[in-house]
Amino acid sequence: MDFITAEERQQLGEKLESLKGNRPVLSKRIAEARALGDLKENADYHAAREEQGLEEAEIRRLEQRLKDAQVADESDIPDDMVFIGTIVRLRDMDDESVDLYKLVGEASGSFDADEIEVTAGSPMGEALMKTRVGDVVKVDLPRGTKRFEVMEIC
């Protein structure tokens, strides 16, 4: 089961509506490019069609995600347990570095936040799910196995 926060559900819905709202714009671009004539060498036409295909695929993905995802009810989650939407301070057991991680249902793609986003379906997210302060998690990463201690749930 795929869990997301209420905030993530709202963001996904807004993104979906934005993509759907862009459909007439893309259709107009395609029509204008088609009116220029020869479609074989019409870069504007091909670029608009490619963009349309990518956006339609993303619309289908978002619609399916919203249909299948379950919104995590924050009132049912213990305050001392890591779950979707939780920000947690972890200490790397190898180099003693400490970083903030946020467990999310879907990554926002933003790198402006103070915490590193970890999706629940990733190896790190799966290891962190339902842990508590003091737990040590072992994560199998592409560069090898890493161990992290849960220092604090923020």
CATH number at residue 78: 3.10.50.30
pLDDT tens figures, 90-100: 999 999 999 99
Residues 135 and 116 in one domain: yes
- Residues 23, 11, single domain; the answer is yes
Q: Compute the Cα dihedral for 147, 120, 111, 132 and give only its sign.
A: negative
Segments forming the whole domain that contains residue 140 = 74-153
- E-assigned strand segments in the chain: 3-4, 70-71, 87-92, 98-104, 116-119, 136-141, 144-153
Encode pLDDT of 41-69 as tens digits: 888 888 999 999 999 999 999 999 899 88
Same structural domain, 61 and 85? no
User: How confident is the model over 87-140, as pLDDT tens digits?
Assistant: 999 999 999 999 999 998 877 777 777 889 998 889 999 999 989 999 999 999
Using the 3D structure, point to which of 29, 47, 70 is the last residue of a domain. 70
